Amino acid sequence: MDTKTWTLIIKPKTSSFDLHLNDLWRYRDLLFMFVKRDFVAVYKQTILGPLWFIIQPILTTILFMVVFDQVAGIPTDGAPPALFYLSGLVIWNYFSSCLLKTSNTFTNNAGIFGKVYFPRLIVPLSIVISALISFGIQLGLLLVLLGYFFLFLDSQIQLNYYLFFLPILLAMVAALGLGFGIIISSLTTKYRDLVFLVSFGVQLLMYVTPVIYPLSFFSGNYKALILANPLTPIIEFFRFSILGVGDFSGWQIGYSVIFTIISLLAGILLFNKVERDFMDVI
């Protein structure tokens, strides 16, 4: 009698909590292939290539310096405006990139999902990881500018040990972007109108995040509104670690951690539920 040993058995999931997260490790080679694809696709057939990751924050920082520093006169807590705006942009760009790209997971990859099996969560994870490359480039730009101000302009920049918490901050930003992104992606399989609202909503969200102003600029109800944004303590923490300016507390960081965990878990559970029958909807 001929007996066969199956290396992979595909079967329906029994519940929304049956996540099979161990499959992500088994398909790690595919994950790295998607990471390479996502990064290369950004600058493929462009003249300047990865330099756009540097040009974009430079031009945005210059615009912020003219509009919000010179014209509006919004303070930067004593930090050099260029460093203040760029430090906020580095974190914000990573979050917005994770959120916007993962929010299109199902609609952009319907062709692949309908032809071959692999853990669907690999696609949004690859987006989050590939976005780390552009973050690293922009962080390098920030460090170069930081060194220039410290060596040649004698700025009172105070690097401190809080900088060692950067990997944790990055993990929180990635988890927030991934959580919100896959929630939106799951909802857009039925409600396509959300696709048009996401990019607009992200632009509005930046203005309730201390990217172009310090948290200390507000008080009362306005400050409470901005603190309701889980990104606020993260950006303030990051600025404090490299510039010595920032307004945050332990309970605010704790709020961001709890909010991040809840949003990520909710996103994974909803993603897991939708992926079972999304092809019939799309």
Backbone angles phi, psi at 4, to 5 degrees: -125, 145
Over residues 228-244, mean pLDDT: 90
pLDDT for res 176? 93
Q: How far apart are CA 30 and CA 126, in angstroms?
A: 9
The more confident residue out of 138 and 278 is 138
Q: How far apart are CA 241 and CA 40, in angstroms?
A: 32
The DSSP line for 146-188 is HHHHHHHS-------GGGGGHHHHHHHHHHHHHHHHHHHHHHH
Place of tokens 């290539």: 49
pLDDT for res 260? 94
The more confident residue out of 147 and 12 is 147
Please report which confidence band the pLDDT of residue 49 belongs to, taking 50, 70 and 90 as the band edges.
low
pLDDT for res 220? 81
pLDDT for res 148? 85
Q: How far apart are CA 93 and CA 99, in angstroms?
A: 10
Over residues 64-93, mean pLDDT: 90
Q: How far apart are CA 263 and CA 118, in angstroms?
A: 24
User: Quick check: 70 and 214 in contact, CB under 8 A?
Assistant: no
The more confident residue out of 213 and 153 is 213
Please report which confidence band the pLDDT of residue 262 belongs to, taking 50, 70 and 90 as the band edges.
very high
Q: How far apart are CA 97 and CA 94, in angstroms?
A: 5
Please report which confidence band the pLDDT of residue 160 belongs to, taking 50, 70 and 90 as the band edges.
confident
Q: How far apart are CA 56 and CA 204, in angstroms?
A: 19
Mean pLDDT rounded to a whole number for the chain: 82
Percent of the chain at pLDDT above 70?
83
pLDDT for res 3? 55
Q: Pick the closest to residue 257 from 223, 230, 239, 217 (CA basis).
A: 230
| Per-residue pLDDT at 258 exceeds 90 | yes
Most confident of 11-15, 40-44, 81-85, 271-275: 81-85
Q: Pick the closest to residue 84 from 229, 217, 219 (CA basis).
A: 217
**Interval 164-212: pLDDT, tens:** 888 999 999 999 999 898 888 888 777 776 777 888 888 888 888 999 9
